[in-house]
Chains A and B, each alone.
Chain A
């Protein structure tokens, strides 16, 4: 299993990185798969996607010098299924409704705020939330969310292209 899935460490070290995405979700829980699906497409388009792994405090050093971080995740309660919400979190706290649900001890949103408290956060954070409705283990991605993929990927690429000073990646 490990031999065919994410078998090798990501290449890294020394690359100039100014903008990157973090795509959240489980590929096995219906619309929650929107994050991994967008990640795959962004990587194919040559964008930098940070591996969130299982424990997001590991991201602090990776994104500290980023100009732009784009967070992609499924959201609930914001509108029709498949609609895409863009929230520019700026340098303030993330909106309450975007404190994204996490089954981990510290979620990415919390680690982002923790990073801000210790001066290790990207300059700009944009959250792209895709409204979903099916999240049970084994659910399929709904057609509405699948149809929104192109829009989310295009929006993420546009945000990633809007960055300023480059810095050296510490990946």
Chain B
């Protein structure tokens, strides 16, 4: 290899969920190409849903992800309920939001403390961090356990919950079961504030981009389990109109599809998008913490997504307390949903961004067609564009350091490769 040729390869990217690779090619000191290659095997969930009953979709799609099963269950259940023309009663909707808060807490805390924080502190991973900062790792583990507990109490178990159904739940918790969580949630509110202060103190690379943010939006609340799809570029649509504005393209190099927004191109979903589009709807406690952390109304530095995740963790804890305080056990755990020949669309805010589903049903409720768009595949093109920007700004770095910055850039997105596969080895070639 000549002096002008530099090649860096990282075969498997660490601290992300699933299998994938990345290639960065640099020729004569200039960046030539950046590629993601997702080689996690495709799992054909959309195909195996065809021919199944509409009522089976939440349990089947939950198996797409062990970190964020609620996102798949909530989006598919919402799609089926819309297809049946059913709207959930308020208390059942709030229970869905509450179990979703549990998923946000456990997923965000895992990523913030165990997977992403080591990047900013110079550790190889969570083990080294735990040896130096046992207090913070213990705080994170306790917060995460609380998120899991919310999922267990409402969902029946922590992984792939069993208590979700189209129309509501199989069983709804008694008031006392939820109120028993209040003391730990009150501890968690302070712990999450500490998480925000800790992450806000990190040093962040000086990098910003004008992202096209896309998120759900719901008047009066920080959208999680319902809302219209809106963007920073002026889009404001019902979830049923998604396919008129967003396109998925298959690229030979990847088992995940690339998503684009018509007239815009790459777009960003997830914490930065939600925060930019709805930060004024966060609770007072979360807004104060964001302000103390110096976030401002819009954050365009993807490396600061770790701070936004911490703010969203605080919000999820606060929101869980609010929901539990007002909770009255619904008279029935579910409302009847009678199938009809119809299309049903569902979209909810998974921890990593919007998770969109469409199903076509026949009159008996058999699924004729299914389409599922997870958040990581929507962010894939934006991640590549971030890498281009970050590598161009860092060409003088030695290979090892450049590889680290690239990996850190990818981890900004908490990519869930397993979900996106329908993603990471890192290769940097310089010639």
Where the two chains meet, the residues of A that have a C-beta atom closer than 8 Å to any C-beta of B are 1-3, 6-9, 51, 53-55, 57-58, 60-61, 103-106, 110, 113-114, 117-118, 137
Contact = CB atoms under 8 A, between A and B. Distances in A.
A114 B345 CA distance: 41
A7 B67 CA distance: 18
A61 B148 CA distance: 12
Contacts of B148: 58
Interface in B388-417: none
Contact of B17 (A58, A104, A137): A104
A55 B127 contact: no
16 contacts: A1-B48, A2-B60, A2-B162, A51-B159, A53-B158, A57-B110, A57-B114, A58-B158, A61-B145, A103-B19, A103-B40, A105-B111, A106-B115, A114-B126, A114-B127, A118-B138
Contacts of B329: none
Given A54-B67, A54-B159, A3 B59 contact: yes
Contact of B134 (A60, A105, A118): A118
A168 to B, nearest CB: 17
Contacts of A105: 15-17, 110-111, 114-115
Interface string B136-174: 011001001100100000001111101000000000000
B60 A114 contact: no
A8 B66 contact: no
Contact of A2 (B18, B63, B141): B63
B330 interface: no
Contact of B162 (A1, A7, A55, A60): A7
B397 to A, nearest CB: 25
Given A2-B63, A103-B40, A105-B15, A58 B162 contact: no
A53 B66 contact: yes
B141 A110 contact: no
Contacts of B333: none
A57 B63 contact: no
Nearest to B41: A137
A106 B126 contact: yes
A147 B361 CA distance: 47
Contacts of B67: 54-55
Given A2-B60, A103-B40, A118-B134, A9 B162 contact: yes
A117 B131 contact: yes
Nearest to A101: B12
A58 B15 CA distance: 16
Nearest to B52: A1
